[in-house]
Structures are given as C-alpha cells and as structure tokens.
Amino acid sequence: VNGAVDVLQHLEAADRPVGVEAYASAISSCRATDDWKTAVSLFNQFCRRAKEGALEPNAILYNTILNVLGADTDRQREREFSRVLKDMWRREVVPDLGTYTSRMAFATRGKRWRSVLAIWRELDAIACSQSATSFALGIRAAEMTGDGAQAKAMLQ
C-alpha cells in the first residue's frame, strides 16, 4: 500500500481518533499510484464512520476523492465519480472551486466538451473566482465545441 494509508490503518487499529484530514491525506496519496479502488474504499470507510459519530465529510474530502477518481476515465471510475458527487449533494456539502475544477477535468478527460462548458456556467453563476486550471479547461472546451462566443465571454 502506501505510507499514508499505513498510518491511517495503524491509527484505526489502535482505536485512535482519526479526522477528516487523515482520511483526505490517505485518499490523496492513492493518486500517486493510481490506486483509485483503495481511495474509494477509504472514502466509504470514512462515510461509514461518519454515520457512527460526529464526523462529517467536507468539501476537502470530496474534492480529494473526486481528484483521484478523475485522474483517468473508465466506466467504473465514472460511476464512482457520479456516486460521490450525488453523495456530496445529498449531504448538502457546498461545492467549492476545487469541486468544479475536478468535475471539469473529469469531463475533459472524457472529451465531454459541452459538459465542461455547462460546469463552467455553473461556476460562473455562483460568482466564484476561476482558477488557472478551470479557466484553461473552459477555454479548451469552447475551442473544441467551436463556441467562439463562449470563449470571448470567458475572456471578458
């Protein structure tokens, strides 16, 4: 496995309090080895523990798992990505710039350019500042769809 996951498992086995930050760190470490299945397992473990106690997943935890899942595209990852997003909305966790950027990156990897533009519009509608990554993804999607008006609007 990896060091962060080992530490998390050690803390759990010792019945030590483990917060959202430890889980986010362990999940994030799975990206380096593209071990998305372990990341999903850790996320699910956290959600089970959250039901038992006072822990609640936050935008950072959701963004971390979305980032790991969005590193590549295949049907299983796409299903998990959608499931995690639905869970986020069900729990009424407010998405932030990282959430939108993860969604845009995942749609870009699948060459779903219109989806990228729709997510861009969602982000723009909430008047959230853009990151360099979300901006680049939006411009690329406008270019790929031939939507010059959208690209021009993004630049203003």
DSSP per-residue letters across 47-104: HHHHHHSS----HHHHHHHHHHHTTS--HHHHHHHHHHHHHHHHTTPPP-HHHHHHHH
127 phi, psi to nearest 5 deg? 55, 35
DSSP secondary structure code for residue 72 in this structure? S
What pLDDT does residue 11 have? 78
Instruction: State which residues of the chain have pLDDT below 50.
Output: 1
Q: What is the pLDDT of residues 9-35, one digit of tens each?
A: 787 778 777 788 888 988 998 888 889
Q: What is the pLDDT of residue 127?
A: 67
Radius of gyration of the chain (CA): 17
CA trace torsion 76, 49, 55, 1 (10° rounding): -60
Coil, strand or helix: which one is 93?
Answer: coil
Answer yes or no: are the C-beta atoms of 96 and 60 closer than 8 Å: no
**Rounded to two decimals, what is the model's pTM?**
0.81
- Give the pLDDT score at 12: 76
